[in-house]
Amino acid sequence: MHELARLGHSVSLWLDDFEARPAGVSPAVIQRNFAELFDAAELTLHVGFDGWTGADVVLATGWQTVPRALLLPGAKARAYLVQDHEPDFYGPSAEALFAEETYGQDLHCIAASPWLAGLLHDRYGAETSHFDLGVNHAIYRPSDARRREDLLVFYARAATPRRAVPLGLLALEELARRRPQLEIALFGDEWPLPAAFAHTSLGVVDSGTLAELYSHATVGMVFSLTNPSLICLDMMAAGLPCVELASEAVLATFGAGGPLQLAEPDPLAVCSTLERLLDDGALRDRVAQAGIALMEGRTWSRAAEQVQDGLRIACTHQEAGRATT
């Protein structure tokens, strides 16, 4: 949204309070917290729709916001920024059904990867375009810091099932048994995990701390069972060799021979992939340089240009629809 504003668009954010904020929390507090959490002080956030007067394009940003985006008056066009295949966030449930339903609402879907755009088109018949997730290169970049030879970092956000944390912990338990001197750091979850091996629990850390961690670690690991994670992009941009699962989404986005070191979803396979990187310094150097090169073109300004292209398609789609009615 920052980058769309820099391209000359008038951007405002409207909070559809679908899950209802706690009683007594004022709109001013929500606006302040939002600005701090998302570095969004330059963007206007409206809590509720009392001041709504219309827009050239209304952009839904999650399945919960689609009904509101469809009902808002005074919109010349409407589009849907799809950041993941959200039905997969749930088991069989009303939420999964509701999420699936949003992909059939005749909104142009601007998806956060080519894989996701293809899935929405093939499974739901949606009109799609895509953008590539970006990297903040001012934070995540190659460093002159000396890398350690014995530090592995794992994005262990267990609260998010699609991160397959139990699989990662099993692989690391075996790796720690084979290499008891290896230091393992877990991050991403508010609470320490009951891991059956010696480790450091870093909790939820800020971007500056992560950048420093990525600059000193030997190997990183993050799993994505749906759309690829920003975490692996940031690791690659910082020159940190990264292990991922050979999921359909990751293979479609980065390929089998890309800089990510891919493992089958089996603890021993993951353990072996990690060992190969830990043992082979030349391999680490090659994949690190390949990751840096790949991420050089992944910027948020470029992502905004791709989203802008999708918004233009949505406007054309809407105009064509009006012409045929």
Q: How confident is the model at residue 41 (pLDDT cuts 50, 70, 90)?
A: confident
Q: What is the pLDDT of residue 286?
A: 96
Q: What is the pLDDT of residue 108?
A: 97
Residues 291 and 205 in one domain: yes
Q: What is the mean pLDDT of residues 229-236?
A: 96
Dihedral sign computed on CA atoms, order 310, 312, 315, 316: negative
DSSP string, 93-104: SHHHHHHHHHTT
Q: What is the pLDDT of residue 25?
A: 82
Q: What is the mean pLDDT of residues 197-201?
A: 96
Q: What is the pLDDT of residue 214?
A: 97
Residues 101 and 234 in one domain: no
Q: What is the pLDDT of residue 21?
A: 65
144 within some domain: no
Residues 155 and 176 in one domain: yes
Number of separate domains in the chain: 2
Residues 210 and 312 in one domain: no
Mean pLDDT of the chain: 94
Question: In terms of Cα–Cα distance, which of 325, 323, 324, 316 is closest to 77?
Answer: 316
Q: Considering the entire predicted model, what is its pTM?
A: 0.92
- CA-to-CA distance for 272 and 276, rounded, in angstroms? 6
- CA-to-CA distance for 172 and 321, rounded, in angstroms? 54
Q: What is the mean pLDDT of residues 190-196?
A: 91
Dihedral sign computed on CA atoms, order 188, 192, 198, 200: positive
Q: What is the pLDDT of residue 320?
A: 65
Residues 258 and 165 in one domain: yes
Q: What is the mean pLDDT of residues 25-46?
A: 88
Give ∠ CA 226-227-228 in degrees, rounded to 5. Answer: 115
145 within some domain: no
Q: What is the pLDDT of residue 76?
A: 94
Enclosing domain of residue 317: 2-134+300-323
Residues 17 and 104 in one domain: yes
Q: What is the pLDDT of residue 319?
A: 65
Q: Identify how many contiguous H helices and E strands the chain contains and give both numbers.
A: 12, 12
Is the pLDDT at 325 greater than 90? The verdict is no
Alpha-carbon 195 to chain mean position: 25
